[in-house]
Every structure is written in structure tokens, then in C-alpha cells.
Chains A and B, each alone.
Chain A
Amino acid sequence: MAPVAPRSGDAIFANVERVNAELFTLTYGAIVRQLLTDLEEVEEVNKQLDQMGYNIGIRLIDEFLAKSNVSRCIDFKETAEVIAKKSHGDGFLEGVWSWIHPGFLRKQKRKKMEKRKIENESVGLKMFLGVTATVGNWNAEGTTCSLILEDNPLVDFVELPDTCQGLYYCNILSGVIRGALEMVSMKTEVTWIRDMLRGDDAFELQLKLLKQVPEEYPYKDDE
């Protein structure tokens, strides 16, 4: 069978089932509220949200690969590069944002672009994402970078009560990123640097590469 050609971002976008963001936003909020009631300790809630995100991140990568048709019969190695290797930034951006917003899959078209170019594209991203996401603050070794979001559908309507000041409300995101990157062989540590719910001007997540796991490909190359 001839390998399926990678699909354009637009085609994927048209086929992704979408729902009103309110359902997602409110569901997430209700989960956080319920976890606070049941786990009592804010620190435990942070951990739980991170764990949930991690589980989602692991599955997310599969979905991402499947929907973009760049997987299996073509070349998983190339896919892994597309998603993760070129820079430690491009891949997880796509993965995470395809979870948050299907429109982001359109960025597939530009998957081969350099990190710098992607940074320049942030204005373009806003057009279909509704949010601006940028990768930046790389250290000299290329092992640490930041993901900066100026908008975030998770926090619509949210105001943290004074009793929850230690809560990382969006901690599910850091889990998603950690999980997704781990599936493409990169062990990372993800920490919040800035949080708009705490009065900062943006959301900033710092990603630190801990270990590049030797690559193993779960799929055999048929050809």
C-alpha cells in the first residue's frame, strides 16, 4: 500500500470535531474545585493536575501523529524529529496546542521551519488560535526554554480565592507537555515562571531538558 501523504493542516482542522470552549473551560474549573474539596491540600491538587496532564500528554502524541498522517508507514524517526528534535520548542507547541485548539494543527504546514521562524510566526498564530504563544528564553546550551502564552482558554472566568494562592491552576498544561515530550524521548522538568492568575502579565512555563532518552521506535518500518 502506498504511504498516505501527510495531510495539510487545513484538512485536519476541517475534520477535527470541535466543541464550544465553554464546556471545556467550565469542566476543567469544576474538576479543580472538586479536587480542592477532596484533597484539601493545595499541593496535592497541583500534583494531581500534573499527573492528569501527564496521562493526557502521553495519549495526545498518538492522536497528533494519527491525525497528521506523518506516522507509521512513513517514518517514525522523521516524525519524532518533526515533533521534538529540530528544536525542543516546535514539537511540544504543536502537540499541546493541537490539544487545546484544533486550529493549531494548521501549523503542521510549517513544521520544518526553524525555531526562529516559528517565533516570528507568532502573530500569524494569533489569527487562528486566538492566542499568542511564543518559544523563547533559550539558554546557551539549548537545554532550557520558555513557552509564553498571553492568553489561555483554561482560565476564562477564573479568579483564585485568597485561600488558594499556592494553587497552580493550569498545572494540567505542564503535565501535558511533560507527558508528550517524554513520549518522544525527552525527559523534561516543567515549571511555572509566570501566572496571570497571580497577577503576572503572561503565562510562562520553563522547560528544562533533563535527559534525552536513547530513541526506540515503537513502529517497525514496513519498507
Chain B
Amino acid sequence: MGREVSESCVESLLTEIVSSYCNGFYADKPELAARRIEAIGFQVGHQLSERYTMDRPRFTDHLEAIKFICKDFWSEVFKKQIDNLKTNHRGTFVLQDNRFRWLSRMSVDPSIETLGSIQDPSAMAENKAAQAIGMHLYFPCGIIRGALSNLGIPCAVSADISNLPACKSFHFEFFYSANSLN
């Protein structure tokens, strides 16, 4: 613990992995590229949740674990807490980050306004810039899914960047089976 690296280290790795998968070996298969990038994030999230919960008391319920993700975990990885947490009490949670760290320095084409959810990569195939951002988001989505699933909350995570570029706000939405809610 205690060792630090320049944040640009992580940024440059992410840039490289996205370009390797999207322009290189999976250039024609954005769905596959997306899945691989998400898988990398998943492993990182899985391992980080193990490390970051090491000195904590056990979570009593899922909500406590989710709050941990929104506060402590988010702060460690993205250097701020999320701005808003909403739930429909049926297993869907929406995490809003108004200045999402990893994209705040990416240049965004102002013409992108009708960006869809990254759940549908083919829909944005026409717009390279949008696709690139979408691809970058698979990594944090994977991190969050990996962390949550290791804390006993198997779920699906998606990111919605429809508000770009105006307020650089990001929604991470995840849901999990109501059966697993105690």
C-alpha cells in the first residue's frame, strides 16, 4: 500500500487496450471487442473489491455494499464519490457521476447529442468518436460489475452517456435479481 503512480499510466493503458481491440484484432466485431474490454475491467474490479474491503467490517446487507461502491470504492478508483444514487427498490440502481473522471479529459465531438446506451454498440457504429467513448466505458462498467459480483451482488451494469457533452454526466445503471435481495 501507499505506492502511487501517475494517473496518466492508467489512462494510457485504457487508451491502448481500447484501440488494440477496436482497431486491431476485433475491428469488425465491436460486440466482441466490447466484451473483452469489459472482461478486463471485471477482473480488475473483482480484485480491487478484495483489496479495498480488506480492513472493513462485513457488510450487513446489499445496500451497505452498494453504498461502499458509491463512496469508498468510487473515491479510490475515480477520485470522487458519485453525485447521486437512485433505486426503484426492485433491484435497479442508478449511479450518477457528474464529472466522470476517466472521460473528463477526453475530447468530445460536440455533434454527438443523440448518443444511445452503450448496450447497443452497433447503433453507434457510424460515429467513431461516440463509439470510442462507448468502448472506453466498458472498462469502468466491468470494474463495477466485477466489484459488485465479488461482494455477492451478481448484476448487469450499463453506462448511459446521453448527456454528453453538456454536463459530462454519467449514469451507471445496474440491476440484479430481486431474489437475491434479502
Contact = CB atoms under 8 A, between A and B. Distances in A.
Contacts, number: 98
A18 B40 contact: no
A55 to B, nearest CB: 6
A121 B16 CA distance: 33
Given A27-B40, A52-B16, A22 B48 contact: yes
A157 to B, nearest CB: 8
A24 B5 contact: yes
Interface string B69-83: 000000011010000
Interface residues of A, number: 34
B24 to A, nearest CB: 8
Contacts of B41: 30
Interface in B1-44: 1, 3-10, 12-14, 16-17, 19-20, 24-25, 36, 39-41, 43-44
A102 B10 CA distance: 13
Contacts of A16: 6-8
B8 A27 contact: no
A19 interface: yes
Contacts of A26: 43-44, 47-48
What is the interface of chain A mostly: helix, strand, loop, or mixed? helix
B40 A102 contact: no
A139 interface: no
Given A30-B44, A34-B36, A19 B5 contact: yes
A23 B44 contact: yes
Given A26-B47, A27-B13, A99 B8 contact: yes
27 contacts: A16-B7, A17-B6, A17-B7, A17-B79, A18-B4, A19-B79, A20-B3, A20-B4, A21-B5, A22-B1, A22-B51, A23-B48, A26-B43, A26-B48, A31-B17, A33-B43, A34-B40, A34-B43, A39-B25, A56-B12, A63-B8, A98-B6, A99-B9, A100-B9, A101-B5, A130-B3, A153-B5
Given A19-B9, A22-B48, A30-B40, 10 more contacts: A16-B7, A19-B10, A19-B77, A22-B1, A26-B47, A29-B43, A59-B12, A100-B6, A101-B6, A153-B3
